[in-house]
Amino acid sequence: MIRAVLFDIDNTLILYDEFEFFRQYIPRASAVFADIIPPESFADTIISATQKMMQNDGSLKNRELFLSFFCGDRPDLREDLWERFIEFYRTGFPALQDMVTAPPGIQEVFSRLQQLDIILGAASNPIWPEEVQEMRISWSGINADVFSYITHIENMSYCKPREEYYYEISRHLQVPPEECLMVGNDRINDLAAGRAGMKTYLTTDSDSIEESSLALSRRIRKHSSAGEFPADFTGSLSGVTGVLERLVR
Ligand SMILES: [Mg+2]
């Protein structure tokens, strides 16, 4: 029986061209760090630090690992650089909402899940601060408060597609993996939940932008040895309710 549903955010709860998103994100963010990191090397610096963070083996929180690589030989700058990220996410980042749409039927899905008393988790790769995860959820028209747990860079020590990531969120939700359904658009990152014992639902709403959208995700996880996993269910986000009605009985 399924008691909890976990949702990926990017191209699951909000739809957008990820490549175009980062094409706009990188120059805006790099301007904030221009006095320390040459803007022309900012993209490589942040992607490289993110790739290393995604290898986190649970020994420390993702934020600590990210900052140690992002700051390189200037550890004294850690808190300054972190504050700059947070300030940028409050001021420059919200404009990117213009690129985002919500998948059809999302409000009905969440209304029904709440009626069914399903525990909800937001299982976006924990490479962003909490407020950025919450902001991106709100862009979908869903209130972030409906989620019992939202994974982010400061509360997780693993990233997708490691199965330990799924054990970690399962522990926080206090629901065993076998009673969780993971919903997401990514055949590797999200369907890896199946290896941890969760049921999986592959969403198809982003299929029209999938190729360009996933190019950056692929680049970021190029060192990952994870393969693809089969989905238990496949369909649009609006189809989650029908599957769940069967699984909760
Ligand atoms: Mg996604």
Taking the C-alpha atoms of residue 112 and residue 93, their distance in angstroms, rounded to an integer, is: 31
The pLDDT value recorded for residue 207 is 87
The residue with tokens 């805006």 is 28
186 C-alpha to ligand 1 centroid (Å): 5
Burial 24-35 (b: 16+ CB within 10 A, else e): ebeeebbebbee
Residue ranges near ligand 1 (ion) with Cβ within 5 Å = 8, 10-11, 185-186
Q: What is the pLDDT of residue 224?
A: 56
How far apart, in whole angstroms, are the C-alpha atoms of residue 225 and residue 92?
35
Distance 11 CA to ligand 1 centre (A): 5
CA–centroid distance, 188 to ligand 1, in Å, is 10
Q: For 237, what's the count of Cα atoms within 13 Å in the CB-facing half-sphere?
A: 28
pLDDT value at residue 85: 97
Supply angle C-alpha 184, 186, 187, rounded to 5: 115
CA of 198 to the centre of ligand 1 (A): 17
Q: How far is the CA of 1 from the centre of ligand 1 (A)?
A: 25
Q: How much distance in Å is there from the Cα of 203 to the middle of ligand 1?
A: 9
Residue ranges in the chain whose pLDDT is less than 50: none
pTM for this model (two decimals)? 0.93
Superfamily, domain 4-16+101-247: HAD superfamily/HAD-like (3.40.50.1000)
In the sheet that 119-122 helps form, which strands lie side by side, from edge to edge?
149-150, 119-122, 4-7, 180-184, 199-203, 233-235
Q: How far is the CA of 97 from the centre of ligand 1 (A)?
A: 16
- Tell me, what's the pLDDT at 218? 63
Question: So what's the pLDDT on residue 247?
Answer: 83
Query: Cα of 26 to ligand 1 centre, how many Å?
Result: 19
Retrieve residue 219's tokens.
Answer: 């680049």
Compute, in angstroms, the gap from residue 126 CA to the centroid of ligand 1. Answer: 12
Looking at residue 229, its pLDDT comes to 85
Q: From the CA of 176, how far away is ligand 1's center (Å)?
A: 23
How far separated are the first and last CA of the chain, in Å rounded?
7
High-pLDDT (> 90) share of the chain, % = 87
| Nearest Cα residue to 89 out of 168, 138, 140, 28 | 28
Q: What is the pLDDT of residue 2?
A: 96
Q: What is the CA(64)–ligand 1 centre distance, in A?
A: 24
Which tokens go with 50? Answer: 């993110």
HEC-encoded secondary structure of 156-182: CCCCCCCHHHHHHHHHHHCCCHHHEEE
Domain ranges across the chain: 4-16+101-247, 19-97
